[in-house]
Structure 1
Amino acid sequence: MSLDVSLRHAFPGFTLDARFEAPAGVTALFGRSGSGKTTVVNALAGLLAVDHGHARINGTVLFDTETGARIPPHRRRIGYVFQEGRLFPHLTVRQNLSYGRWFAGSRVRAADGDAFARLIALLGIEALLDRRPGTLSGGEKQRVAIGRALLSFPRLLLMDEPLAALDEARKAEILPFLERLAHETEVPILYVSHSVAEVARLATTVVALENGQVVRTGTPVEVLSDPRAVPTLGIRDAGAVIRARVLRHHADGLSELETAAGPLFLPQVAAAVGTWVRVRIHAQDVILSRTAPVGLSALNILSVEVAALRMGEGPGVVVQLRAGEERLLARITRRSAEALALAPGLACHAILKSVAVAQGDVWIEGRDD
């Protein structure tokens, strides 16, 4: 899948002027509230006619204001999952799902007859089929809404902050299903979020929006570890994602991971030895030292090199650190950066407490074999 988008649309006091291309996989539209994310997906879905621009999926033109081409919304083959499930309250779960198949029409007849059974198994909603939406939890409703959208056999699935209305427990319940969805279906997903944790966990491509404009596009590793993206991400959410391989599990409850910067000790990681994982490390949890420290309680002392520095408007500095192909971020004060004489190319050590990384910031990728 290739998605080519160029949009310009003016609202009172705000103008969206966004251009990006996205490959196959999960493309996250990331930005703070009011940055233009929902406007983009509404334009793709056909719910908004923009002033100028175009959108193409695999070369198929959804709309083009220059040529006047425009596919009506109901013929675009786009599934849309909103913040709330928006299920039909008078229908059972099975009937809500069947509506998606009915909407798809002839595409269902040409599809694998087992698609329905496979999808409800993927989403874990087998036991919900005869219930009505009013009896479901928020997470269950969202899973059914996703199933209904997928059973319309879309060429693109739009998800507009599908976890925003859920509490933390329900988010933790549905995130594994979204991961399975991304890995086990071939439907490309445009995922709208202002949550760095969701983007880091789910996305293959990140398009960062700020004040209606695209400020950065790339993989989660590239975007989240870029000091220039910190204003968009938010200071307290800034951090990088690195890959690591589970080396061994210790009897004291710690797991030892192998990284490009050295061993990383974390609270028990629920993955077998040899498994690759992604670890999100918050910039505010990283301490820097010019020399290898001794006598610390922190177990993780990683050998890195300063790649770049970004001075904030206040007393803070964001330091990008390089370890082979991996990148880390550290947020320190300007005074500390000057005292350490930090500059690109300087070798130093990044210090991280084991307990600073929560279990929710470790995601399993899989094994090589």
Structure 2
Amino acid sequence: MLKLIRGGTVYAPAYLGKKDILIADGRIAAVEDKIEPRKLAPFMEVTEADGKLVVPGLVDGHVHITGGGGEGGFSTRTPELTLKDCIDAGVTTVVGVLGTDGTARTMTNLVSKAKGLTEEGVTCFCQSGSYHVPVRTLTGSLQNDIMFIEEIIGAGEIAIEDHRSSQPEWQEIARVASEARAGGLLSGKGGVVTIHVGDGKGLLSKLETVVQETEIPITQFWPTHINRHEALLEAGIRFAREGGFVDFTTSTLHSSEKPLLKSSSGMKYMLDAGVPPEQITFTSDGQGSLPQFDENRQFTGLGVGKVDSLLQELQDAVLVEGLPLETVWKAASENPARLLQLRGKGTVEKEKDADLLLLHSETLHVESVMARGKWLQHGDKRQKGTFEEE
């Protein structure tokens, strides 16, 4: 059935004003000032969106879809992502990663979960590898993974400057990036390497060395947790000014103690420092563990990352920090989609996937969620995951 969303104020995420959006076969067929149903009315579902905001569904580029953690033993392995988690957060596209544990949590597990989430209604991709290098892949080759496995779009998350990493030298990182880049070029994918940055004193120096010493472009890397501490935030500003992308993690344990390290306030700080908004992304680190260690690197406890933190930090960036919605929303829609080369995602425009959110115009609360032209939440109806209870 055709769907018409009529009279909403559209942020694509660029501001378009009041528009009608026609949806056919899971894609956006038209975005116009006025679309009259006429003879198609009996075959068209019409949603009146006057007084609501219409924005792209969120692209969460860093989620532990199979769960993460385990730093405190087997009982501290975090649970898997559910469809409900995505709907509640307004996330319509997910990129799954492995983390510390690339042994008990495998690439077969990761790709299977990605396929399952896509079957349930959202779009799910994944990265090949975990914290450690050499990268543990699905096919035995990172390039083959990216070229021949539909869901795999890059590598990561590779850990640097972290006591849980394999302590890779810059040459090893360069080899991972070169193989990912070749796989991406040959398959039309991004081939981006997601880099987990810990609290080590080297900051982003290894990535900067790769860019200086090789022909690999700075955009081949996607350093995350840039808001871990102030020194890393400053290093991220320098990295972004050189043309790189930097990623804020919205799930944190320290944000209440250090307000600057909240993604929303950190974004304002970067923008005030002259970083182009197109270089900034937000991801949730959903279902990942948020471990705590003492000064001797001994485990003392952990929390669990939440996908809905992504939406909360976007809301705070607009409502608390006073940043423009069209600037803020790019960080979790258009920007990650462009970086990862997810060509059907991230914006509200003709021929793109119909991944849309209807928001309350004042609170930015998510009222309806559409993914690939299907309502996952709308009115009193809500899509259930396969094993989710009523």
Higher relative contact order (CA 8 A, sep 6+): 2
**Bigger radius of gyration, 1 or 2?**
1
Structure with higher strand content = 1
